[in-house]
Chain A
């Protein structure tokens, strides 16, 4: 007769017994879904404000497009360079990988610098009107993500040095940073569309 409970006696390999496969990337991806929902909330708020709350006399929605467009390109290229870094690492070319990482860092910093330039050239401040506040909240929150990302890539770059903890066979840190960086870039593309183009 088929019993409902069966003790399983087949021994498992020792590595499975006292450890388990690495789910950290899965965990990070789940976290990024949550993080994405924070942005979704901000976007929803912005779009509603825009639809129903008229701005005071003289305030404008139109923003200078040149700088943010360059910034968008910078971020997209940095996603590509990071991808190259990942591929290089996985095939064991650590020196190449580190060079691509450095390039990604440079692009990230260039993006942040561009953002600063934009902030200082805008005709409105944080509390001027609803649009201004939302603009700074959205881009600022995203900028924080980019800053954190740049710091992460710096750490990864350092750990990928010869003899460091990141190598061809052990590169969780690099993959996590890469996933995060692609996420931050993806959010920027949406943000650019909603904030600047719409």
Chain B
């Protein structure tokens, strides 16, 4: 039985031009851009909130905003950055744009579900932000919403927070189902799993985590809302409930969630490096097994967030060992990237700079992570700024750096125009210095006992906090060259040509931007997406890519 291709339905009803980006479009490329732009707008909001946090922390007293407001800002910042920026962008934006190309398809397996998944996000995000104004007070219990704190802070804001996160979780699950079906079922005939570009494996692994872990968070939040609205006592100690059960369920989702944020970034970097180093991706097979190992291990390490929550010794032992084991597949990937770069003809453009900085930052965050997995050390620094430093090296230094790298790499694909390199390098330098200035000192602060999530601190910590705030200011400034670059280039940037990087992965073997159905003719069968440098006299892109089949697809 076949299903009609939805792109063929209702011809003429789908808006054209820029209006289609505001429509319920079923085109995976439009949906990808929708995710990207929507995510970026939320990133600006989350960034402004981070600005409030760092301004407050520039002095030891809470003198910029009140303490309750600080807690609201902190909660909104974390929730927005995770659920409305990184998760939707690394999965929804790049996943939707690239995966159909990589499997040689004209769209995702379920285009309508795809559009629904995207359109859940803007209302959920606006709901979350509006709780600050509408409900009297936004949620104040952090992105973790631990009870009993979340049971005693203002109820309306907390309920809105739960509702919003449930919607975003639903969106994420729909997306995950779509990616699994697309990668496993929609591959072009003749294309084998082990011939797919690495990003497909990353998205497959991520989506497995999404499907297995997100529903547990949803169930947990429903129980939490019962505690708030109906006064049940699941997580309320004064009614005989158990807060540690909440923590277990929450981290059963939220540790995998950190991989939901970083595995797609691994995949994207694995696409970018070979193109600009003109070398095949090193160790394809080990890379695939590493991703799958991370998926399996990622599901059994959650209690490393709970070493101070009265966990029994056997549990500490198990979760320390399991967590430390994750360093093995992660390390394999790290060395594979280095080996990919090794001896390559590296073009040091903005995409590569951000990718290399990612490797650097991620290794640092990985090392502090392994340190945190050791109980004796973690008990010392749990809930201090050391943890804040650790995860920002990974979520910002890792995922966000990769989002920027990907933007420079794929912008010509999206628009047909090349971003300006000088502005790109300025953006890179400002971001890299600002980022390290902001988050490196936080490790030191944490080691010396500065607790996280508090608006005030011991004046002895002032200097390093001010350094950190200066770093944050630099990061804010670094957004300007990016914005200018993206907007100006869209209108008058140099035309890139269809394949400015001479890349071999399938998304480049069509026009830029691509036609509605991705290829005018048959999708090319790309069995060696990383075949760089394997043809001594250089390769003849015209001959092997089937340009004759697609050059008429200029739109």
Contact = CB atoms under 8 A, between A and B. Distances in A.
A and B co-occur in one complex: yes
Interface string B235-258: 000011110010011001000000
Given A18-B5, A45-B234, A127-B230, A5 B524 contact: yes
Contact of B226 (A6, A7, A137): A137
Interface in A1-60: 1, 3-9, 11-12, 15-16, 18-24, 26-27, 30-31, 33-42, 44-45, 48-49, 52-53, 55-56
A151 interface: no
Contact of A48 (B176, B213, B242, B534): B242
B223 A6 contact: no
Contacts of A52: 242
B531 A5 contact: yes
Return the 8 tightest CB-CB contacts between A and B, nearest first: A7-B546, A4-B531, A4-B528, A41-B216, A133-B232, A38-B215, A5-B544, A19-B2
A185 B326 CA distance: 37
A183 to B, nearest CB: 13
B216 A129 contact: no
Contacts of B248: 44, 48
Contact of A44 (B212, B213, B249): B249
Nearest to B242: A53
A150 to B, nearest CB: 22
A167 interface: no
Nearest to B220: A41
Contacts of B180: 30
B2 A49 contact: no
A104 interface: no
B252 A41 contact: yes
6 contacts: A4-B544, A23-B109, A37-B215, A38-B218, A45-B234, A45-B245
A126 interface: yes
A20 B256 CA distance: 32
Given A7-B544, A7-B549, 20 more contacts: A5-B527, A5-B545, A7-B522, A7-B546, A11-B522, A20-B2, A20-B3, A20-B186, A21-B2, A34-B173, A34-B215, A39-B219, A41-B249, A42-B219, A45-B234, A48-B248, A53-B240, A127-B231, A133-B233, A133-B234
B543 A22 contact: no
Which secondary structure dominates chain A's binding surface? Answer: helix
A184 to B, nearest CB: 15
Given A18-B4, A19-B5, A48-B242, A4 B534 contact: yes
Nearest to B546: A7
Contact of A26 (B181, B524, B548): B181
A165 interface: no
Interface string A107-138: 00000000000000000001101100110010
A127 B216 contact: no
B460 interface: no
A55 B242 CA distance: 12
A67 B2 CA distance: 45
Among A9, A19, A52, max chain B CB count under 10 A is at A19
A95 interface: no
A38 B249 CA distance: 10
A69 interface: no
Given A45-B223, A130-B241, A133-B232, A7 B524 contact: yes
B522 A8 contact: yes
Contact of B177 (A20, A30, A42, A48): A30
A27 B1 CA distance: 15
B220 A27 contact: no
A96 interface: no
Given A38-B215, A55-B240, A133 B186 contact: no
A33 B211 contact: yes
Nearest to B249: A41
A115 to B, nearest CB: 19
Interface string B158-200: 0000000000000001001110110011100110000000000
Contacts of B109: 20, 23, 27
A170 interface: yes
